[in-house]
Amino acid sequence: MSRERNIQAQSRLGEIIAAKEVDRLHEVFHENVVDHDPAPGQEPGVAGIKQFWSGFLAAFPDLSIDLESLVADDDTVVVTLTVTGTHSGPLMGIAPTGKRMSVRGIQVGRFEDGMLVERWGSTDQLGMLQQLGLVDIGS
């Protein structure tokens, strides 16, 4: 039963982000969630999760997240995904480039009582910066 409940919470997270309803993230993230991979300057807890998503959605207002795979047990849900969007707003002090990006990522979430209490994640940040024309590592 925990496995199914956690998968439902993960699905609700995807729906909340797709709807750009950042103020609802507390429905999925515990107030004191531990983010093991926070963005620079991100506050702790659900406030920091909301802070991150508010900024990221402002930078990529047409953001789409496509779920590639999901693996779950009674405590953990792991998702791989593709994140796509157009850089139309400031991103951590970087002016909009107007360029599109599409990168892969992974998130591991530990759940208690259907709430995310810990998260680990990684997205291809270098690939994103390259696609936005912000980094050139040569040919």
Question: What would the pLDDT profile of 23-55 be if each residue is shown by its tens digit?
Answer: 999 999 999 999 999 999 999 999 999 999 999
Q: For the chain, give percent helix, strand, coil, nearest 5.
A: 30, 35, 30
Residue pLDDT tens, the chain, 139 long: 699 999 999 999 999 999 999 999 999 999 999 999 999 999 999 999 999 999 999 999 999 999 999 999 999 999 999 999 999 999 988 999 999 999 999 999 999 999 999 999 999 999 999 999 998 887 6
CATH 3.10.450.50 correct for 2-131? yes
Residue 81, both tokens: 């995904």
Q: What is the pTM of this model?
A: 0.92
Which residue(s) pair with 91 in the sheet?
94
